[in-house]
A and B are shown apart, each in its own frame.
Chain A
Amino acid sequence: MNAKTLVTLDDVGLSIGGSVILTSAKLTVAAGEKVGLLGPNGSGKTTLLRVLATLLRPTSGTGAVLGAELGTDEIYAVRPDIVLVGHLPGLYPELTLGENLRFVARLTGRDPRRADEALAAVGLAAAADRRARDSSKGMLRRTELARALIQEPRLLLLDEAHAGLDADAIGLVDAITGRVVAADGAALLVSHEPDRLEVDRSLRLVDGSVEEA
């Protein structure tokens, strides 16, 4: 794998419970790239993101993420460099937004005070003490984006990138993905709204395979 290539998938297939989700996905993402991923509901976009996040092991084909071969123990070392913002929030409902981010900061060896800075950066400074379960979908989404600011990932994966976000927060998506690619990382954004995607190129997932859009 080229030193500047962060993601490669070569004929990756994945079946879950007898259902074939990916058939022969081919994909290359270089450092500094912002890539959009499009496709109809049920086409496997979320599954593909989970493969790239190393959370699902391919059942066929080969691939590497941040230099770690998928399906091997190498993935454990690179996971902290990956942030996946799924369509369901990875937050603990009973913890406040600030506590959720401080939990992440401490476990990734960062200064917990960065949680407050990150919340301020996404416009949630006043909501730091609000429990996640009492927060709106947009606030949870902003908090997830704040998590990306804390972790400074090399690979940022955004599922339903613009779901639940107002116009200001959509600008945040662009700003945060921009920071990641500027630091020689890469961002992959799934969206149903191609017009709102500010990306270098877009791919389309069709019948379990990835095509240029």
Chain B
Amino acid sequence: MPFWAQVREIARKDLVIEIRTAEVLLMTVPFAAAALVLIPFAIGTDAPLLAELGPGLFWIVVLLFGVLVILRKSAVDEGPQQDLVRLLGIDPAARFTGSTVATSLLVLLFEVALLPILIALYNPDLGGWWWMAAVLPLVAAGLGLLGSLTGGVTASLGTRTSLTPLLIVPLALPLLVGATQAVESLQLGRSILPWLVLLAAVDLALAVSGVLAARPLEEVTT
């Protein structure tokens, strides 16, 4: 079966399972939305301050709660399912890519669901915000790639739930920096291109690493 057809099958399977369990929509989005709602109670209702801090807080919430999207139970292949896909002869790189596509789409959905809350509560400067159409997918792809890569590493160690967040959060720092600086550049009227290039470069590096590591990581998982 061609590589991209395998990718499509894996992604479709992951998305169907996620739609049925609805972990992201029913649990993670409300929880993250609650965090955005609670922050103004903690730092006060100073409108200019909230407008200034809002975008940065948004990205921190996306990063921290995005880990929950990445760690969702529906993304986990247990031992028998891992054996199945290995024996079906699925290219591990296709499996990595398909899983990443599904996770990235869910993270993107998660980001988009949180945006109206950010705008309603924090009233950020919306000048040039159409650039977010590029920033949001790049961050979502980065988190999806990180999730698949670190998931592969931690699955081989049998410590997925505990170790994955510890690996993702520091590795996601370039994504956080790129996203927050892109938004700040927009607010200051500067070009955000360097930050988009940074995000794309991080995504590319993660994609190459993930594809190259897919087979060894899969085979070391027994």
Contacts and interface: CB of A to CB of B under 8 A. Distances in A.
A94 B83 contact: no
B83 A53 contact: yes
Contacts, number: 69
* SS class, residues of chain B in contact with chain A: helix
Interface in A54-84: 54-57, 76-77, 79-80, 82-84
A90 B84 contact: yes
Interface stretch (B87-95, B166-174, B179-187): B87-95
A82 B13 CA distance: 22
Interface centre among A54, A106, A108 (most CB of B within 10 A): A106
A55 B1 contact: no
Chain B, interface size category, equals 20 to 34
A163 interface: no
Nearest to B85: A107
A116 interface: no
Interface string B69-93: 0000010001111011111111000
B17 A92 contact: yes
Nearest to A78: B89
Contacts of B20: 94, 131
Interface string A40-58: 0000000000100111110
A80 B81 CA distance: 15
Query: A-B pairs with the 4 shortest C-beta distances?
Result: A90-B84, A80-B89, A90-B80, A94-B17
